[in-house]
Structure 1
């Protein structure tokens, strides 16, 4: 090698002390067998994005603070495509039941691969290379509300939300989500093979509906299969700890559903973390879904 040749540092080298946490977060947005995902890197962390039919988008945010090592050397924000199923399955090979397996992630490799390597002091070292692609399209961005406008929102316990959406499968068509300020409540109504309505009353049962913000009647319809995708693959830990899932209805009926998924090591996980204050201080990945309504309205 001549003195004029310079070995460029990878765009990113990072280490995570629990690969299972990353598997859980990415699995939450895996709603079908074959999905293409786009990964965006920045000095702030890693974002994985998946979309379907231009109507449903999901993002997993893993902030740089979640990693025990995060060396970012790129200019700008590199993006690349990858098979979500292949990525999750590959990460799973590094996970040892009952053992908080650590992993190193590097991009790019010599042939623009995503490189995975175990970093535990075990006898065997696991190594994987995942082929990446150039993204064909640019993901659509959720447009936030103008400054000074507070979107309508509520937080419902994840276990109750999953039970409600599972029950709504019977109508099997579309789901109307209605928020009304008096009495303050949220209604999920399914119409199709039959009718089914599930009400969450604020103040009546604050154990289920923990936060509510709405100053006028708001109602929008969403495809059931997309709404179900927001909850169907949540890690069991989110359901068992009964965390809250936040719904926000913005301009034009755009629905954002946000979950918080722990990526902490098993030894760091604290039992009985049932309140927002308790688990926000832990290592949390943000999982967000964005759903466009079936019929646009003139509410906004």
Structure 2
């Protein structure tokens, strides 16, 4: 028997990342309850983490392969495995030191199908962790997002303003109706319950808050408050600090897509990272998407 026959098969993925805190921020943004399972999907293009709640809310974190300083992919197809999201985030946190750029290596699978993580940037010590994985349940609903028509129904609002508006809408104790109207261009969030609260974002009146708007007909849908809150409650402080915008799009049937951008750039130091081509790498971004099903179709006739 040849020696090569005795060698273990190469893992599906070996990758390294130089900003653990950025990964923690991105995954924490979709952690809306204490005990939460996640599905991780691997591909040659990068890593996607998926979480779901009662077939009405789904979130995805995209870490494109360009975010990693090393990305070796050997699998066929797109392997998936399940993990505890809380355990995964807490584990990554142990590799992140404030004010310091840590480099970690992630391998999957280990000998017993574990997710293996270790630090690789210290000569003095090595932190090593194994996370047990499971066979994932089937994703229970189709999260493919379809446009509502030929013209997009979308708006982009400053993330801090969006989070503040949804936080304020908690006290009416009801579902939230989101309405878009083209003339005058306006987005309205309205809660009617123990009290009434309406928040308007006028496009031309305050383009510092509502920074983009596309709508050619009036439309409105209601969404459960807890699902809208989950889409904004754990935005990383870096998103607020960087004054980023969040994009909301209404798709066919009132499916709401909420998109955030989280920086996973290496923290700036006195010696910024310069790649082999001799130039400094640009800021790197993780893409986060939430898909929220409507509670009540308020205006189905206008969504044809």
Q: TM-score range by the shorter chain?
A: over 0.9
SS in 2 for 1:145: coil
Residues 84-233 of structure 1 mapped to structure 2, 5 A cutoff: 84-145=85-146, 149-233=150-234
What's the Cα RMSD here? Answer: 1.7
TM-score (norm 1): 0.93
TM-score when normalising by structure 2: 0.92
Contact 1:157 1:242 in 2 (8 A): yes
Q: What secondary structure does 1:20 align onto?
A: helix
| CA pair 62-268 structure 1, distance change in 2 beyond 3 A | farther
Equivalence for 2:274? none
- Tell which deviates more after alignment, 197-206 or 145-154: 145-154
Give the drift of 1:242.
1.3
Deviations 1:156-200 (A, max 9, x none): 001111111111011122000000000000000011111100000
State whether residues 40 and 49 of structure 2, in contact with CA within 8 Å, keep that contact through their aligned partners in structure 1. yes
Do the aligned partners of 2:147 and 2:251 also contact (CA within 8 Å) in 1?
no
2:80 is the counterpart of 1:59: no
**Other-structure match for 2:81:** 80
C-alpha change, 1:151 and 1:145, in structure 2 (3 Å) is: farther
Contact 2:148 2:253 in 1 (8 A): no
Contact 1:145 1:151 in 2 (8 A): no
What 5-or-longer segments of structure 1 have no aligned partner? Answer: 270-280
CA distance in 2, matches of 1:195, 1:81: 41
Q: Is the 8 A contact 1:186 1:199 kept in 2?
A: yes
Residue 277 of structure 2 aligns with which residue? none
Return 5+ residue gaps in structure 2 as ranges.
271-281
Deviations 1:74-131 (A, max 9, x none): 0000000000000000000001111011111000000000000011125111000000
Aligned match of 1:272: none
Q: Which moved more, 1:98-107 or 1:137-146?
A: 137-146
Contact 1:39/1:81 (<8 A) preserved = yes
CA drift of 1:19 comes to 0.5
Displacement after TM superposition at 1:146 (Å): 6.0
Which range moves more in the overlay, 44-53 or 133-142? 133-142
- The number of aligned residues is 289
Contact 1:181–1:216 (CA under 8 A) maintained in structure 2: yes
In the aligned structure 1, how far is the partner of 2:256 from the partner of 2:283? Answer: 26
Secondary structure of 2:145 counterpart: coil
Distance 1:86 1:156, change over 3 A: same
Correspondence 1:18 to 2:24: no
2-side partners of 1:249 and 1:122: how far apart? 51
Residue deviations 1:254-287 (CA, integer Å, cap 9, x gap): 0000000001111179xxxxxxxxxxx5200001
Q: 1:179, 1:146 → 2: CA distance?
A: 15
